[in-house]
Chains A and B, each alone.
Chain A
Amino acid sequence: MISGRAHVFSRAHINTDEIIPARYLTAHDEAELARHAMEDISKEFVSRVRPGDLIVAGEDFGCGSSREHAVWALRGAGVAAVIATTFARIFFRNALNNGFLAVECPGLAEETSDGDEMELDLEGGVVRNHTTGAIREFTPLTPFVNELLEAGGLLSYVARKREAQA
């Protein structure tokens, strides 16, 4: 169960250049990247976000550059999960590979406001908005995705498989 406040970015196609501008790709430390998370869309985000908060987004979140720095910047800033209408392919992959939650829930961004108290119930398959009382089912995670998340990301998943084979 993940509970936190919502930060809503409802515009479609929020790209990784906006999540972490390329001028900061000279670093790959999460804390350093976190200082600039979402900087080109919202200067206030970094000062408002608290550990455990959630980003609620629209279509095609994370499109563009393959930089995994986008996931690291958000995680570094304390974001516990991104819930979007849809995700761009590489961002989604990078999130899972890091054991970072990227959950698809069409329609959520339209009915959520900044600061709403949210709860992502992975077992129940729903997102609850405690501020409005709304409950929405999210798109179920596939078994493979669950395995990756459960392992804590791709590298631990690969290590486990190797151990199992040895």
Chain B
Amino acid sequence: MTIPMTITEKILCAHSGRESVRPGEIVNARIDLIVAHEVTTPPAVNMLAKMGITRVFDPSCIVVTPDHFVPNKDIQTAELTRKLREWVKEQGIENYYELGDHGICHALVPERGHILPGQTAICGDSHTTTLGAFGAFATGVGSTDLAAALATGELWFKVPETMRFNVSGALPPGVYSKDLILYVISMIGVDGARYRAMEYHGSCIDSLSMEARMTICNMAVEAGGKSGIMEADQTTASYVRARTARDFTVYSSDEDAEYSSVFDVDASSLEPIVALPHLPSNGRFIGEVEPVAIDQAYIGSCTNARIEDLREAARIIKGRHVARGVRAIVVPATSAIWRQALKEGLFEIFSEAGCVVSTATCGACLGGHMGVLGRKERCISTTNRNFVGRMGHPEAEVYLASPATVAASAITGCITDPRIFLDHAPDLNAPAPRTEAAAMQKE
């Protein structure tokens, strides 16, 4: 290497056959992974047909699942998934996940071992940045980009500048990676990382599970970022190795790599955060948030509906009941997470508390179905956007928070600090907590 580079620059360099790249340069990069769902793929398929391109570049690098409006919400969405299925068959795409095996694509892809460190990945969906948690360059694109990549296996990119976030310290109890990313977005604003890669380092990140890391990279786009990225480590390798035997390359940023800015965050100083309507950057520490009454509590989406999230929510909800007048909706991110949660008894906890559980879908996060909000209704949600009209009626209000804060708020009926419930609640994510509790009881 002739010049020092960041992980992102190294990946784009290696995929565009160049010696080095600099921020601002336009490169044509080879795409390792293309993820496709029913909303943005059918238009891309139409474009390919118009261009007279009958075969995709390489079906083996494409992963497809319907996720936004599944199970089909109406005739129009039924037609979208029908077109998706027909195209998958016609192109001989093997990595297709049908209802029952499906999931929100950003959660499904890593779970099935499709993303590897060092890869380039795109999807016609802005939350593709999630996959950056694996040390990959992953970004959201539109349908035309998708069509071009499907046809040629390549896509143009402007090499982004990189912002570095050094996150030290341990997250206190009741504070999660969702609170950390809401804090970062509130610090830099919804366009604070516009066109840039957000690269995370530090002892806090190192200590996080892949699930928690994905939540952070997922919301890079909420700060305007092109991507979020973390260096692959032992945690990444174990996660990936458990799912695929394919080889991968781990890239690290050079010590003297150039960053457009560097931020230091002390995770131990954080508290639960709630982003008030109508921007993800409206984060406030829970102590500063009015305990406003809610109509709906939503635990779902590519941001926060993995098994750890469901366990955290269940830990608070267990043995309690959802407040009168509140609809609590739990939407596991994938079918596999759904089955795991069932096995662990989480659905019994949710159901007895008065929550409903849905199959995996993007659903109400984008105002699709399964929990759309009415006029002036207020929802606290584990999702990623609280824009005007995002979850339904333009006069509805969405508050963004961690699964624990959403669960606590579902119980009390107003926005609530989850820490008041956590003192005596067993940690369902800790190794074998029940055995310990049982042992103590015997003594």
Contacts and interface: CB of A to CB of B under 8 A. Distances in A.
B366 A65 contact: yes
Interface of B: 26, 39-40, 42-43, 46-47, 51, 68-69, 74, 76-77, 80, 124-126, 128, 140-145, 147-148, 151-152, 156, 190-191, 194-195, 221, 224, 226, 279, 366-368, 385, 387-390, 394
B194 A60 contact: yes
Interface string A15-37: 10110011101111000000000
A66 to B, nearest CB: 4
A155 B148 contact: yes
Given A40-B394, A60-B224, A71 B142 contact: yes
Contacts of A64: 126, 221, 385, 387
Contacts of B69: 26
A144 B124 CA distance: 22
B147 A26 contact: no
B43 A28 contact: yes
B224 A67 contact: no
Contacts of A134: none
B147 A155 contact: yes
A101 B22 CA distance: 26
A17 to B, nearest CB: 5
Contacts of B140: 66, 90
A60 B387 CA distance: 14
Contacts of B387: 15, 17-18, 64
A68 B144 contact: yes
Contacts of A93: 141-142, 145
Q: Which 6 A-B pairs have the closest CB atoms?
A: A26-B76, A68-B142, A94-B142, A97-B144, A66-B126, A60-B191
A107 to B, nearest CB: 17
Interface residues of A, number: 39
11 contacts: A15-B387, A63-B224, A65-B385, A66-B124, A66-B142, A67-B40, A89-B195, A90-B140, A93-B142, A144-B156, A155-B144
A68 B148 CA distance: 14
A122 interface: no
Given A65-B126, A68-B43, A40 B76 contact: no
A59 B191 contact: yes
A86 interface: yes
B224 A89 contact: yes
Given A89-B226, A94-B142, A21 B367 contact: yes
Nearest to A65: B126
Given A13-B190, A21-B367, A154-B145, 8 more contacts: A12-B191, A17-B367, A27-B76, A64-B387, A89-B195, A90-B126, A97-B142, A97-B145
